[in-house]
Structure 1
Amino acid sequence: MQLSTPSARPAATQPAARPAAAPADNTAYTDYKVIRRNGAVVGFEPGKISIALTKAFLAVNGGQGAASARVRELVEVLTAQVVNALVRRQPGGATFHIEDIQDQVELALMRSGEHDVARAYVLYREKRSQQRALLHTQPDQPVLHVTDDGRRVPLDAQHLHAVIQAACVGLDDYVSADGIFNETVKNLYDGVPTDEVFKSAILAARSQLEKDPAYSTVTARLLLHTIRKEVLGKEVEQDEMAGQYAEYFPRFIARGIEAGLLNPKLAEFDLARLGAALDHARDLQFNYLGLQTLYDRYFLHVKGERIELPQVFFMRVSMGLALGEENEAERETRAIEFYRLLSSFDFMSSTPTLFNAGTTHSQLSSCYLTTVSDDLEGIYDAIKENALLAKYAGGLGNDWTPVRALRSHIKGTNGESQGVVPFLKVVNDTAVAVNQGGKRKGAVCTYLETWHLDIEEFLELRKNTGDERRRTHDMNTANWIPDLFMKRVIEGGDWTLFSPSDAPDLHDKVGKAFEEAYTAYEAKTQTGELTLFKRMPAITLWRKMLSMLFETGHPWITFKDPCNIRSPQQHVGVVHSSNLCTEITLNTNESEIAVCNLGSVNLVAHLKTLDDGTVALDHDKLKRTIGTAMRMLDNVIDINYYAVDKARNSNAKHRPVGLGIMGFQDALHKMRVPYASQDAIEFADRSTEAVCYYAYWASTELAAERGRYSSFRGSLWDRGILPQDSLELLREERGGYVEVDTSATLDWNALRERIKEHGMRNSNCIAIAPTATISNIIGVSACIEPTYQNLYVKSNLSGEFTIVNDYLVRDLKKLGLWDEVMVADLKYFDGSLSKIDRVPPELRQLYATAFEVEPRWLVECAARRQKWIDQSQSLNIYMAGASGKKLDETYKLAWQRGLKTTYYLRTLGATSAEKSTGRGGELNAVPTAGDKLPEPEVVGAACTMRPGDPGFEECEACQ
């Protein structure tokens, strides 16, 4: 191993200086190797780093300065820092490139404040690089060959450079095509297959992501080049793709139908017209994570070979949704309308819709909610229904409250029940076994009401200790909490647990009716009429709920009464649970499985800059987008594949949909508004008001065209009570305890009058889902989430991706602050700016990360949204320095603000999150069945999973 060092001074003026010794025995690093520039692999020797550093000081300070005790001590410290930076992410051994080591030496020098030495080191490296470049141009250099279809031919470097240059078009201010080219060639070897050349280019561009987020777009375009070659069988330039798309599209439909993948009805469309509508320029919008995700998991393939290109994919989905149009003459027009919405990234359908639209198994809905009956046949029917619904990518929410508790009497056998928990173990294992068609992990959430006698054991299902037969490590759990319990907690009262077999009507009662029935059962325990019960202080159970939530991340906190009292459909049933991701609140019973299909509006794409330079919502565009999106969602109900009749009947009767949003954090960045601010709360209020207003308006327009949903009569809609009006109903039932701002800006009276005249097409319209994957596809922040980190590594089934906050990078570049030291500092501080003093305070506030935003701001923003939403929202709670008091205050505030549900509690772990190197790495690939996915980090065991981590993306079942 040889490190470049600045030239020493002339020998005549140089006193001898003995280099500092290596910090450790080189034999301790036998599992680490170094790739030299000539391709040779040698052992990693930390001692040589010490020598190089000593020579660097020698060149700048002279012999005496370099030999001083201070320098020897500093060299030892810096060497240790360099070695630790290299080996800490791969403690089991690794191979480094010589350039990686030199980069770390540079960073160590700069961070130590030795700027003169660092400058000399950088200049010398650049000089040596130029000398090597000159050597490579000499005519006696060997020619690099590639293998193409079994033939060995010289590498066409000019063509390779042209492909890379084309990928950089429009991004020249941010990226270097020459830099990508040089890095690509550096990693090639003689005889390399042609396909590997372009993979090397992808890796070369990807390795530069920390320099500028624009490299993500370049990487995506290079990946697109390889996808086109796979699908079309040849390399095609961007400006040729308009013709190629039009020519290929009919062939794609024919091949998909022949392979049994596509619905034969797609051949009935005017394929020439649809092919001509494909906009090849929209291929250039993708970032790397988005396109790689589509390629790995969404594009159709035949025997492992992809047959879809991005615009073909969006048109296939749009055609599948247009099959729901009754007027066949307008199907092409509608398909093009849907395509333009999806391909523009203004709106995106949920993952099941993207997976299956237009295919022979068009299971397009995202969420299924079921109630389990209290008999053996009903229990196993429910488990079977879980399996059938999960097969084609449905996410499940199960209500297990009716099932009798442990030690309850079983009349048929004159025995005692084993309670809910043993059956939940079967539910857990079914979710693992039926892994959504082999595409992703099956996902289910079980809900149990707080008065159920098995609730204490239910709270412990996700613990890592105890009897494994009574643990469910792969299944989510959620508390379904009645208001009476929260009032007892706040007022210091007692709480009594019952078996549903002794108190069966509590399951279907809410509000004051629940309170009356519940207190009547408590009275029966005093008289001896009820003997199977348990009484405790309500605060004791509440503390255990919060303790388990902190320790295991489960059960989530959700509130029964707001979900029911504010439900438009309270006249025909009861909401017994939410779904997998806590945003769906629909009625269920033994004969109805609730179904909801989802899609989300890209909020940041619906902002406009006003004449005075301020940024505001574009209401006209938002209304157009939502009008089309609601039509797409409504179509799903009629064309959807239903694995269970109870789901088909329920969906046809009530026709609920769930329109959501994503890119909320991006919108705040664009508006220059910190998340932790009153302005953010106000924007949450006004933006959700607009989305809901236009969605409800679109539904009543669909009702005028297609007819109102069949159970409309008697609903809150029918009674002229809109979602924000229902807050007063909640306040009346609770007897207070509802503190929510009720301001409005739009003409809701006009909407009331229109609904009175035409009704509603859909019983429910709005639900803010997690958008875990579809936000990745279009490259925006997930749903309503704050920034996780400004620089981090996102892990999912497609691999690992360096994520950089491009808004932050642009701001720091304007100030001349974006450099390698800033990147290193962001890594060191886990993507946070808070301790980087040279960043202006206003930027540190604007780009505060999720754990720097006090959870009350998240709750307050959510409360303003919930005012307008007829269902709920997936609200993660981020909490740094979690304590019992902070948990108690946060979740009580959520209840008092009228929230219906909360989702994960995410707390900071004792160890730092994984830090990105952004250099090299393996090609992204979907793990095989034998691969072990990394486990989520746990804090004492508090949940610290990051967006994109395996396990976190179980919420992809919604999005």
Structure 2
Amino acid sequence: MSVKTTRPPAGTALRVLRRDGSVSPFDASKISVALTKAFLAVEGGEGREAAASSRLPHLVAELTAQVENSLSRHANHESVVRTEQIQDLVELALMRGGHHEVARASVLHREEHGSAQPAEPETSWHVKDSDGTLRPLDWTRVAHVVGEAVAGIEGASAEPVLAETRRNLYDGITAGELATAQIMAARTLVEKEPGYSYVTARLLLDKLRGEALSYLAGTPRQASQDEMADAYPGYFRDYLHRAIELELVDPELATFDLGKITAALRPERDPDFTFLGLQTLYDRYFLHHGGTRFELPQAFFMRVAMGLAIREDDREGRAIEFYELLSSFAFMASTPTLFNSGTTRAQLSSCFLTTVEDDLASIFQSYKNNALLAKYSGGLGNDWTPVRGLGAHIKGTNGASQGVVPFLKIANDTAVAVNQGGKRKGAACAYLETWHIDIEEFLDLRKNTGDDRRRTHDMNTANWVPDEFLRRVEADAEWTLFSPDETPDLHELYGNAFAEAYRAYEAAADRGEVKVFRRVRAVELWRRMLTMLFETGHPWITFKDPCNLRSPQQHVGVVHSSNLCTEITLNTSADEVAVCNLGSVNLARHVTGEGLDLARLERTVKTAVRMLDNVIDINFYTIPEASRSNLRHRPVGLGLMGYQDALFELGVPVASDAAVEFADRSMEHISYFAISASVDLAAERGRYASFEGSLWSRGILPIDSLRLLADARHGDALDVDLTSTLDWDALRERVRTTGMRNSNVMAIAPTATISNICGVGQSIEPLFQNLFVKSNMSGDFTVINPHLVRSLKERGLWDEVMVSDLKYFDGSLGAIDRVPADLKRLYATAFEIESRWLVDAASRRQKWIDQAQSLNLYIDAPSGRKLDELYRYAWHKGLKTTYYLRARAATSVEKSTLRGTDGKLNAVPAGTGGTSTVPAGTGGTSTVPAGIVSPVAPSPSSVPGPLAMLGAEAAACRIDDPDCEACQ
């Protein structure tokens, strides 16, 4: 096997910082010599024999190339690397290659001979500023900043951070390298003490302050956290002026009463971020010019708040109210809102849903619309069901159609081409109903084999499944596939009306009145759907009839698809592109050990709904169909995040009746408060235009609409708890008489990125692992469950051995004997709990939600029987949609002696921390839990619709794939 070496970019001279503080040019030959000596020392005669036969030189060359590749990432950002970092990378390359004895000997040799104390900073050493000037290294300031960073953090102290920082110093170090040295010093300690994540973030904040203040002043400037307490108001005025001057921010923001605005800033909240949260903001959210960030956290939150309050009567009062919610992490707006609020192009909406009509002009117009909608960070859901299928007659050319798949290929490439300004990859999801004649080809779109012209490797796909199909699966009956040009009304029908029309078309086909159709066994098609879901992660399973029968807006249209993340269920047509505006309550900020803080939750929800409603009027619409739809119906989607953190705070295991009950009660209160808030807005601002005739206008709330679904299923295919605890009758009457401001109010989105910002678990997800490395566009981050660490400390169980055990057992407590059973149950990870608990909790939430929820399902050892039972169980429990199927990775947490990670960081350059990760699939271990267990054994099923086996191409969703931004 050969390894291609990635050389550092031209003009980059990589240098090595030695233990004595001297700096010398990097020389790869020294790595080769050291590796050769290591092999000869461990393998003795065998090693010399291998060397003589030229096998050893070849092996050494490969390992050296791997180390150079890792170092090249570092060279893209900085020019200096420490000796210890090179040794770390060498040992990691040995571990990856299976040369464990040689790696172990290297580690022992370093412990015995390489423990020389780092040099103390020389008083004559200098720091080089960005303009090339040299100034004396101010170690007193370094110590002060580190001292501020550890202040108030339990278990953290300045000494280890300062000691590690010293090891990175040399005369002439750049200001950027000095800041990075402090950040990386703290970062290496996170796995032993979660509090160092906050320390690392505060050190990154110090670097950001220097970057922002220097940019605005035009000369190098620095300020500590305590100095910024007084400096923030002046900074904010300078920042706003420069942002407007650069045409990045709406000039209207300068007309606010800046005295009131700056007096409300809370500089003390800047240190509240975890490292992952602040790094994410730095990389993707903060305003910058020429790559230099000049927006500090509180300025960011205030800019977003002012943008959302720009049309309020009391602009300053509302902006401060919104700012308080955002900066305290009680509620967080969605990524597009955070990106663009207060800017000159305020595209704040998250999701867009479209229907593609069956003519060439409409199809190519849909590509243009996708590009315009995605340009400003919108996620797309496209309904492709109306497009005629393969073999259907084309009247205009008297030819036969090539079906929907070739058009989907173009849609895929459009999503790739429009990457949202580099902030995140463009993303779309194509939906197709299960009766479409092209459904079997649609299932294959994400396969890695076959004709690549009929594959969409970058676009998500989802099945839009009617109830009639699942009835046929359970009855082991036949299913008929049609082309929509011959059965157009099937697209517009649902429930019993769909079933009757569908059966009528089957009879017409039997009479020869339908030209393009095909009969399949429903069980066989269901088997293929689940097999492809396992093999490729797509298409997702979503249910057409619950989405429509429970839709408040069924009087003015049909829900033809969900969105990119399967939580939005809004009507679409040729004339209306559905738009939804999202934000999420941080449930972790609304619980105490006693339960939900209902008073605070009500205040948060009321303000959040107002913020989301404001988005509709402020929003920059790129196409008229979106503007027309959004202003007419005014849908918003209030969701939640931090659900697992709330359970930890309450001491409730996710796999328990108590957790299911908490999901029910918490969502009931959110639903009650959200609907009430929309009624209040209707009284203040007026009802939404299409209110009359809606379920709302008939006094039918989400909890009531379940009876519509039960009636359509004749009571034999719906198993949903209808318990409620609040005074819904009074609210029902208010809704009916006063009206609603918004056609839809609730939807639970994935929240992967905004949860990172707030430092909590995403959405309604169970904990993935207690210790792992998370990868996203900002890099690789050590994540350790702070709730678990706190519990282990309380019982005297947190120590170095526990860290090692967590690594060895991939973040699971199950096999660690000394951990008590109650903690194992409380901190059980996603793959250690039965998926039915997740469905049960989701079912309880769904009864309160007028839209849907992004629900990932986890299976430890997938089999045909498990998938069949799980997805039919979700249907019986009344779910509207499901999202990714996640299965355990074949790879696991890095188990070498090395610490931490070596991720790609923009503000914190790669390779500066003396740590590294292993790419998935390169030797049995990986810090990135990626991929899925390779082929599973066939498992016969005892229920109707068995799956004989799951395919050999195991590729369900990669839970932390840094290139997958669908749920970021």
Q: Name the TM-score, length of structure 1 as normaliser.
A: 0.86
1:177 aligns with 2:155: no
Q: Residue 740 in 1 paired to residue 740 in 2?
A: no
Q: Which residue of 1 aligns with 2:967?
A: 955
- 1:894-913 matches, within 5 Å, as 894-912=874-892
Q: CA 1:89/1:907 → structure 2, altered by over 3 Å: closer, same or farther? A: farther
The CA distance in 1 between the partners of 2:473 and 2:783, in whole Å, is: 42
Alignment match of 2:931 (pick from 931, 937, 940): 937
Farther off after superposition, 154-163 or 449-458:
154-163
Structure 2 counterpart SS, 1:721: coil
C-alpha change, 1:50 and 1:318, in structure 2 (3 Å) is same
Greater shift after overlay, 540-549 or 833-842?
A: 833-842
* Contact persistence 2:82–2:168 (CA under 8 A): no
Distance 1:770 1:126 in 2: 49
Question: Which of 618, 636, 657 lines up with 1:678 in the alignment?
Answer: 657
Instruction: Call closer, same or farther: CA 1:344–1:88 in 2, change over 3 Å.
Output: farther
2:352 counterpart of 1:368: yes
- Of all paired residues, the percent bearing the same amino acid is 60
* Residues 289-438 of structure 1 aligned to structure 2 (within 5 Å): 289-325=276-312, 327=313, 330-438=314-422
TM-aligned CA distance change 1:802 to 1:603, over 3 Å: same
| Mapped partners of 1:224, 1:798: distance in 2 | 16
Alignment check: 8 A CA contact 1:788 1:946 kept = no
Q: Distance in 2 between matches of 1:437 and 1:953?
A: 14
Aligned-pair CA distance for 1:907? 1.0
Partner letter of residue 750 of structure 1? A
- Whichever residue aligns with residue 781 of structure 1, its letter is G
Of 135, 139, 149, the match for 1:157: 139
Residues 709 and 483 from structure 1, CA distance in 2 versus in 1: closer, same or farther, beyond 3 angstroms? Answer: same
Partners of 1:158 and 1:376 in 2: CA distance: 69
> Which consecutive unaligned segments of at least 5 residues does structure 2 have?
1-14, 44-59, 72-80, 92-103, 215-220, 910-917, 921-929, 935-951
Contact 2:309 2:319 in 1 (8 A): yes
Q: Distance in 1 between matches of 2:292 and 2:680?
A: 43
Any idea what SS the aligned residue of 1:535 has? strand
Residues 224 and 537 (structure 1), Cα distance of their counterparts in 2 relative to 1, 3 Å cut: same
Closer, same or farther: CA 480–922 of 1 in aligned 2, 3 Å: closer
Give 1:516's aligned residue.
500
Match 1:641 to one of 620, 628, 637: 620
Deviation sequence 1:409-445 (CA, Å, 0-9, x none):
0111111111100000000000000111222110000
Give the alignment partner of residue 212 of structure 1, picking from 193, 207, 230: 193
Q: 2:605 aligns with which of 626, 645, 650?
A: 626
Alignment match of 2:20 (pick from 38, 54, 57):
38
Counterparts of 1:358-757 in structure 2, within 5 Å, are: 358-609=342-593, 615-736=594-715, 737-757=717-737
Q: Which residue of 1 aligns with 2:7?
A: none
Residue of 792, 817, 823 corresponding to 2:797? 817
Cα distance, 1:298–1:142 mapped onto 2, change above 3 Å: closer
Output the aligned Cα RMSD.
3.0
- Measured after TM superposition, the shift of residue 493 of structure 1 is 1.1
For residue 128 of structure 2, give the secondary structure of its aligned residue in structure 1: strand
- What is the CA distance between 1:273 and its match in structure 2? 1.3
911-920 vs 538-547, greater mean Cα deviation: 911-920
Q: Secondary structure at the match of 1:954?
A: coil
* Residue in structure 1 matched with residue 174 of structure 2 by the alignment: 193
Distance verdict in 2 for CA 1:523–1:294, change over 3 Å: same
1:920 Cα offset (Å): 6.6
The answer (yes or no) to whether the contact 1:203–1:923 under 8 Å persists in 2 is no
Query: Separation in 2 of the partners of 1:525 and 1:682?
Result: 49
Give the conservation status (yes or no) of the 8 Å contact 1:793–1:914.
no
For the residues of structure 1 that align with 2:487 and 2:750, how far apart are their CA atoms? Answer: 35
CA distance in 1, matches of 2:393, 2:956: 41
Separation in 1 of the partners of 2:758 and 2:919?
25
State the Cα distance separating 1:754 from its structure 2 match: 1.1
Which range moves more in the overlay, 184-193 or 821-830? 821-830
Check if 1:245 corresponds to 2:232.
yes
Looking at structure 2, the residues matched to 685 and 385 of structure 1 have their Cα atoms a distance apart, in angstroms, of 39
Q: Is the counterpart of residue 282 in structure 1 residue 258 in structure 2? A: no
**Matched position secondary structure for 1:408:** strand
Q: Does 1:256 align with 2:250?
A: no
Task: For 2:370 and 2:36, locate their aligned partners in 1 and report how far apart those are by CA, in whole Å.
Answer: 60
Are the equivalent residues in 1 in contact too, given 2:70–2:89 (CA < 8 A)? no
* Equivalent residue number for residue 943 of structure 2: none
Choose from 854, 858, 872 the match for 1:874.
854
| Matched residue type, 1:651 | N
Q: 1:271: which partner in 2? A: 258
Deviations 1:68-104 (A, max 9, x none): xxxxxxxxxxxxxxx9xx9999797779955997999
Q: Detail structure 1 runs of 4+ shifted over 6 Å in the superposition.
A: 33-36, 46-54, 86-96, 99-105, 124-129
Letter in 2 for 1:237: S
Aligned to 1:827: 807
Moved more, 185-194 or 860-869: 185-194
Equivalent residues in 2 for 1:95-106, closer than 5 Å: none
Distance 1:127 1:417 in 2: 74
The letter of the residue matching 2:180 is K
> Aligned partners of 1:334, 1:793: CA distance in 2, in Å?
39
- The alignment partner of 2:178 has SS state of helix
Aligned AA (1:952):
C
Q: Distance in 1 between matches of 2:363 and 2:170?
A: 61
Number of corresponding residues: 864
Which amino acid in 1 is paired with 2:534? Answer: F
- SS of equivalent to 2:569: coil
- Which deviates more, 582-591 or 252-261? 252-261
Cα distance in 2 for residues equivalent to 1:853 and 1:664: 16
SS at match of 1:205: helix
- Counterpart code for 1:676: A
Cα distance in 1, alignment partners of residues 907 and 208 from structure 2: 16
What one-letter code is carried by the residue in structure 2 that aligns with 1:182?
A
Counterpart code for 2:380: L
Cα offset for 1:828? 2.1
Whole-Å separation in 2 of the counterparts to 1:375 and 1:782: 40
- Alignment-derived partner of residue 751 in structure 2: 771
Contact 1:872 1:901 in 2 (8 A): yes
The letter of the residue matching 2:178 is V
Q: 1:160: how far off?
A: 1.0
Q: CA deviation digits over 1:219-259, x for unaligned, max 9? A: 11111111111111211122222321111222222211111
Read off the aligned partner of 1:602 and give its amino acid letter: N
1-structure distance, mates of 2:613, 2:667: 20
**Pair 742,537 (structure 1): closer, same or farther in 2 beyond 3 Å:** same
Distance 1:464-1:659 versus aligned 2 partners, 3 A rule: same
- Structure 1 Cα separation of the partners of residues 429 and 178 of structure 2: 45
Bigger shift: residues 869-878 or 241-250:
241-250
The 2-side partners of 1:753 and 1:421 are apart by 48
In the alignment, the residues of structure 1 paired with residue 367 and residue 88 of structure 2 have an alpha-carbon distance, to the nearest angstrom, of 58
Q: Relative to structure 2, which stretch is displaced further, 939-948 or 335-344?
A: 939-948
Normalised TM-score (structure 2): 0.85
Shift of 1:608: 2.4
Whichever residue aligns with residue 910 of structure 1, its letter is A
Structure 1 contact 797–925 (Cα < 8 Å) conserved: no
- Taking a change above 3 Å as real, the CA distance of residues 89 and 283 of structure 1, as seen in their structure-2 partners, is farther
On the 8 A contact 2:768/2:830 being kept in 1, the answer is yes
Query: C-alpha separation between the residues in 1 aligned to 2:370 and 2:849?
Result: 28
Structure-1 separation of matches of 2:259 and 2:686: 33
